[in-house]
Amino acid sequence: MRIIMLGAPGAGKGTQAKKIAERYKIPHISTGDIFRANIKNETELGKKAKAYMDQGMLVPDELTISLVMDRFKEPDAENGYVLDGFPRTIPQAESLDAALREDGSQIDHAVNVDVPDGAIIERMSGRRACVNCGATYHLQYAAPKKEGVCDHCGDGLILRDDDKPETVEKRLKVYHDQTQPLIEYYAQKGVLKEVDGTQGLEEVFSQITAVLGE
């Protein structure tokens, strides 16, 4: 089962993608995690990606596509995957479709987690991330056990530059301009599934499993 997660930044699609991966025994492929690992290791790709991400801009297609296509070749993706953060533009979606056609496969479901902009800005300003292991928290919805300290590794938590309100507003504009058209793209292919992302985490997940129907 090959699933794509759609929705604005901060809509909660990453959290839902992890739950989907666990439920259906397929890997969660997050471009955000790939980028952050490269940033932490200060690779050349990481430095380039960080420059875009800190400004709330999309990482260019050629950097993103090469990473994702390589990830598909790993053994755990043989029976499918849930994609989170890719594709973000129509050209990326077309490139993905072309690559999948070569393998004789296609996307089975595109799940759109719908959340209004105002709620997203409020959500993201409460997010905190561990600079060491990448774990994420939310001051209201998923707070760490000890304020400012990561539950997993004990390192400090920060408000990432790309979660600050002014950057989130830029990211939402980019989303509406470049990524939101994917909703119609996958609707036309007959694989779009819509869920209300303003509900609680478990309620949203129940909606998703219902629309996947598997």
Catalytic residues: 13, 88, 127, 160, 171
DSSP-assigned states of every residue in the chain: -EEEEE--TTSSHHHHHHHHHHHHT--EEEHHHHHHHHHHTT-HHHHHHHHHHTTTPPPPHHHHHHHHHHHHTSGGGTT-EEEES---SHHHHHHHHHHHHHTT----EEEEEE--HHHHHHHHHTEEEETTT--EEETTTB--SBTTB-TTT--BEE--GGGSHHHHHHHHHHIIIIITHHHHHHHHTT-EEEEETTS-HHHHHHHHHHHHT-
For the chain, the residue count is: 214
